[in-house]
Amino acid sequence: MTDQNFPSTEQFDVVVIGGGPAGLSAATQLKRQGVANVIVLEREPDAGGIPRHCGHFGFGMREFKRILTGPQYAAKLVKEALRAGVAIHTSTTVVEANEHGTLRVATKQGVRKINARRIIYATGIRETPRSARLISGCRPLGVMNTGALQSMIYLKNRKPFKHPVIVGTELVSFSAIMTCRHANIKPVAMIDELPHVTARWPSSLFPRLVGVPLHLETRLVRIIGEKQVSAVVVENAEGQRRELKCDGIILTGKFTPEASLGRSGHLAVDPATGGPVVDQYGRCSDPVYFATGNVLRPVETAGWCWNEGRQTASWVKDDLAGKLSGSEAHLRIGIKSPVIKYVVPQQISVPDLSTGMENLQLRFMQRARGELIARNASGDFMKWQLRVAPERRVLIPISDLGLTAQTHIQNNNDEIELCFKQSPQ
């Protein structure tokens, strides 16, 4: 059971915003490492994050050496956190994150103002909704993201349609097919504008295996329907349009960090990731705040976020003990190529590089082969040969940048630019 009564105290050592895999693992690790007063604030009635409504298997190998369903995994994370002594406050939403570690929190008992020595921002991601995708046509019922579909089916036992079209071919799009199968919903098609499936092979075989026609180089142009969706108009690469009869649309993927607290508050937000700007410790532009898990960038798996949460806890604990390198001087990591989608961290605090993230995490906009080049004021100083594809993780060891104490002194508050030189395909 998670605690529903908000404590009367106003001062905490660490407040974690978001009770998903990243936030729960960070809080659990902090308690295990001896930090006294750690709470998790979760806006939903139950903690566990996205896995709570991913009813399929595929979670837990890294963390528990067992293959679990999403709900089993979420329950296990909550149990571990409670066992470690973390106080989890559900139905509790952080509505404002301000300077000096001050949060405004909407609890069941009303709005409260609290303070923390450190705050971990672990609010995850969401899929891009219809409005932000600028899809024209009518506004009938039956248009939703995978997350909404999953919570309807697994948490509320409701079936919003029988024959939807699935838009997108990211990993989560296949999760949408599995969710449909669980509820005996039969998708009429899966479409994507790209000429290839975004998720790794053999996912591309899955729609055919379960009888869902896959249409690549096909985009959704218009939605038709008065009360409920009755059809969609799609267009292929030659510009030919046709109508597909359906009673629903599942808009999958195109993830964006749930970073509205940062955007409406004082934290610097990176336009490339959509998440907060962080250094190699996940430390934000206000050094009281650290970020971890998918709010850092779209999108990683639960296991990856869980591990990030654990690592972030160690850096926060060190920071509380005054052992973390300062955030006053840093090297910015800039993107100088339209092919590179984002890089995390966006800056590296100096001079201590002995701890912190091991890698720069990059994503690319398109399939490409070529050379990633690191450049500073003196010219190109490091190159990596890469073959990249959209939504595939690319890790570049920070140690490859050869940042020595000497470099820091010369390049304090300087920028490293990342460029990409494409080879012919």
Ligand X SMILES: Cc1cc2nc3c(=O)[nH]c(=O)nc-3n(C[C@H](O)[C@H](O)[C@H](O)COP(=O)(O)OP(=O)(O)OC[C@H]3O[C@@H](n4cnc5c(N)ncnc54)[C@H](O)[C@@H]3O)c2cc1C
Binding residues for ligand X (CB under 6 A): 17-23, 41-44, 49-51, 54, 58, 93-94, 122-125, 127, 146-147, 150, 172, 175, 258, 261, 293-294, 299, 301-302, 305
Q: Could you tell me the smallest distance in angstroms from the CB atom of residue 24 to ligand X?
A: 7
CB-wise, 251 or 331, nearer to ligand X? 251
Q: Could you tell me the smallest distance in angstroms from the CB atom of residue 40 to ligand X?
A: 9
Q: Could you tell me the smallest distance in angstroms from the CB atom of residue 339 to ligand X?
A: 24
Taking the CB of residue 352, how many other CB atoms lie within 10 A of it? 15
Task: Tell me if 360 sits within 8 A of 333, measured CB to CB.
Answer: yes
CB-wise, 48 or 225, nearer to ligand X? 48
Cβ-based neighbours of 246, under 8 Å, separated by 6 or more: 161, 163, 164, 165, 188, 189, 229, 230, 231, 232
CB-wise, 148 or 386, nearer to ligand X? 148
Task: With CA atoms as reference, report the closest residue to 369 among 384, 383, 382, 388.
Answer: 388
Cβ-based neighbours of 282, under 8 Å, separated by 6 or more: 290, 291, 292, 296, 308, 311, 312, 315, 345, 357
**Integer Cα distance of 249 and 220 in angstroms:** 10
CB-wise, 51 or 160, nearer to ligand X? 51
Q: Could you tell me the smallest distance in angstroms from the CB atom of residue 76 to ligand X?
A: 14
Q: Could you tell me the smallest distance in angstroms from the CB atom of residue 216 to ligand X?
A: 22
**Integer Cα distance of 415 and 340 in angstroms:** 17
**Integer Cα distance of 149 and 173 in angstroms:** 12
Produce one character per residue of 44-59: b if its CB has 16 or more CB atoms within 10 Å, e if not: bebbbbbbbbbbbebb
CB-wise, 157 or 378, nearer to ligand X? 157
Q: How many residues does the chain have?
A: 425
Q: Could you tell me the smallest distance in angstroms from the CB atom of residue 319 to ligand X?
A: 20
Q: Could you tell me the smallest distance in angstroms from the CB atom of residue 351 to ligand X?
A: 30
Q: Could you tell me the smallest distance in angstroms from the CB atom of residue 211 to ligand X?
A: 21
How many alpha carbons fall within 13 Å on the CB side of residue 410? 9
CB-wise, 175 or 218, nearer to ligand X? 175
CB-wise, 222 or 392, nearer to ligand X? 392
Q: Which two tokens stand for residue 422?
A: 């494409």
Cβ-based neighbours of 312, under 8 Å, separated by 6 or more: 22, 26, 120, 281, 282, 290, 291, 292
**Integer Cα distance of 124 and 386 in angstroms:** 28
CB-wise, 19 or 225, nearer to ligand X? 19
